[in-house]
A and B are shown apart, each in its own frame.
Chain A
């Protein structure tokens, strides 16, 4: 996001009032938004020529491009041979627009009213077992049978292979989604039992179109979710739609079956530890099935699968040297899906549950790192879905707080309007003069305006300070918003009106002249500028603030 198209919203809360302002950068950095004659950027080159750029602004819709264009016209090669280690002063002007101002007590009343029971319009889905504090819902479902019709090819493949249908038992499952994001965020996990503790283990499914981490790939089918017909508070309806959409069909072989990774790892472990064969018979059955089982399950109906199976399993059954890699690893995606679903279609419900129980036992006995990622405890699953915005990760913080604060101003304005309070939209100009920014030798605009790109924290703090010091008063129209930011000392100094008015009046030429004088001082020596250089009169009264 470009910094140069920013408009800042600013909320100030104190005991008495809550204020809402908007900072419109009229001349933000080098960008010119010439709404008024006063709003132009003053840049002085070594020859003290001041450029007022207006028409050029609109030659490109991209702000960065505009700025680079401007900069390339302005750059004076002599500047770069100058001994001054500092960047010429930059005068930026802003437009501080007052928004709503409401008594904070009103905000609190509104807040308090939100407490208390609300009449339930809808019930949660049956067996809602957990809700995280970002609203992700975890719904349990007991075992049931499902018919899986899948295409042994990719979604967009025009294969002539027939759809394969397998009826399988689905064990205990947890389905999770966040109603605030109904077209994404769905996951499903399997287990051999009902959820009873955070330490219960959950595994990926053995179904097509799911990932190892539990995510469900709906492709675009959820884009037709009728959000205009389903109230997003009606979580039961949303859940019904999502779960039915998945189990309704259209499976394909786009994704690797989650069981592939698991059984591939298991093979190697079983190879090293033959006792596993006896301890985990169902797992072993899948890793090294008999040809009879393959045949009776219908797996051998799929020729690519039959070809691989015959070769590798004959090696195993005839006690020839056992391959170090599972025969399953030689199967392509469709073949593996075909295989897993065929085998599972021969399992009774009890066998499916036992198989997942074996997986759980196996995990608890083998905590090797490579295997760990295939399994998650319920506690891990919930942590995956929810991370506190205040955990310390700035990205998470932004992502989690954005939806809320995006609507914050709207919320304040709603409260104001509800109480017949309307903003005057009074605009007050504000100026910030940046001095002593460290220069670079690059011709790039971005690099050379490091004084303003120092960090958005610094820049935002400057605007915060300006806004916090400004109290809107309808009886008083203030020009008292002139600040100097010294990049060298990281201090922001407020210049009282009487002080800067001694040098600048509200005319274009006045600003011109002020700026010309200033840049002349800048080019005269390589020392950093001091405020006393800029405002010699009474500058001793000025108290800079650390930023």
Chain B
């Protein structure tokens, strides 16, 4: 039997509560929850009855109408696109945002010493995907993802809107924010305990909590994709400004490159910024898949060359619940570099992987909200099952 969390225990155990509907079948088909209504007329409608009825009502509301919002949303900012019981999508128009960059890794930050650099960046249309939960009646944002867009989602068709990866720190390469750290959950008390509160918290966590240089992978993606993504290369002036020998195996971008990147970005006009293209949010995943496949292929080639039984090298990592190969890494690298790929063309191989990933459709050439939303739903479904 599944975990019956939502039907009141008092109903399940007592079996005394039942819904009695009197329906006039021959006439107007008027239904009336007679029993409960009559509870109102008597003194039997106590808090327990009210609570039971409320629980049952909410329970069957979800069964019947999954899209029903159970409590008022609160006053939301304009731009809300979609709400359901675990996901909110909203957008904001182009605006200037101050990025407060502390040019250090988190572990090296000296909060007594202020060397924060502020960049005032023109930001295009932004679209936010926020998953949230309600625990003990309190709304909590879970994951927050943000993407750039050419225009308002409300003025366009869902399936045709292109979403782009924001080349900012604090974001992962799928567009998700690395949530800020707070000393306590009191941070949430600043916001109303409703959908509006989740929206405001999410927005503020992106733009008002400062940033360090722990996560610079999206700027790296911008640089990698500039070499192969014609849409990005031709439609964003920043792609010509930032050149680097950065290769796909490196996702840490030096602060000098970051500074140069953001200073150049500051010079873009707010009017034009929404017309520019930005990195593809789906490319990283595909790259990693292919790089992983390449690595696997190289490893097996090494095993074959040296007559090593691959199965004997497989070991189980209990902590990660996954298998890995145990082998002599030095010998492996010697093999790879001496036999298969020379240092000169090593990076070229990876570059070609990136290029082929970027060239694939539909993952790249027209990154669409449906792709992103599909990915989102599948990951959330996986979490909840």
Residues of A within 8 A of B (CB): 1-3, 5-16, 103-105, 107-112, 114-133, 135, 140, 195-198, 233, 236, 378, 382, 386, 389-390, 392-394, 397-398, 401-402, 404-409, 411, 455-457, 460-461, 463-464, 467-468
Contacts and interface: CB of A to CB of B under 8 A. Distances in A.
Given A1-B24, A111-B62, A124-B82, A104 B4 contact: yes
Nearest to B77: A129
A192 to B, nearest CB: 17
Interface of B: 1-7, 11-13, 15-42, 45, 50, 53-54, 57, 59-87, 89, 131, 152-155, 158, 195, 373-374, 376-377, 380-381, 384
A127 B78 contact: yes
B33 A405 contact: yes
A468 B16 contact: yes
Which of the listed residues A112, A121, A233 has the most CB atoms from chain B within 10 Å of its own CB?
Answer: A112
Nearest to B376: A117
Nearest to A121: B158
B36 A6 contact: no
A108 B38 contact: no
B63 A110 contact: yes
B18 A467 contact: yes
B41 A117 contact: no
17 contacts: A1-B24, A5-B25, A8-B22, A116-B380, A116-B384, A117-B377, A119-B373, A124-B81, A124-B83, A127-B79, A128-B76, A131-B83, A133-B68, A378-B75, A394-B41, A404-B61, A406-B29
Nearest to A61: B26
Given A13-B7, A14-B12, A464-B35, 5 more contacts: A1-B30, A124-B81, A128-B78, A131-B69, A405-B31
Contacts of B68: 133, 135
The 6 A-B pairs at the shortest CB distance, nearest first, are namely: A457-B38, A394-B40, A117-B87, A114-B66, A120-B82, A127-B78
B72 A109 contact: no
B20 A464 contact: yes
Contacts of B373: 119-120
A132 B72 contact: yes
A386 B71 CA distance: 11
Contact of A12 (B18, B22, B85, B381): B18
Contacts of A110: 63
Nearest to A110: B63
Contacts of A390: 50, 53-54, 57
A456 B22 contact: yes
Given A10-B19, A120-B81, A120-B82, A397 B33 contact: yes
Given A5-B26, A128-B80, A195 B75 contact: yes
Nearest to B131: A117
Contacts of B87: 117-118
Contacts of A140: 78
A386 B13 CA distance: 33
B13 A15 contact: yes
Nearest to A115: B85
B7 A108 contact: yes
Which of the listed residues A14, A117, A404, A406 has the most CB atoms from chain B within 10 Å of its own CB?
Answer: A117
A5 B154 CA distance: 50
Contacts of A116: 85-86, 377, 380-381, 384
A426 B199 CA distance: 53
Given A129-B76, A455-B41, A411 B64 contact: yes
Contact of A405 (B21, B154, B380, B381): B21
Nearest to A197: B75
B12 A398 contact: no
A14 B16 CA distance: 9
Contacts of A103: 1
Contacts of A404: 57, 60-61, 64-65
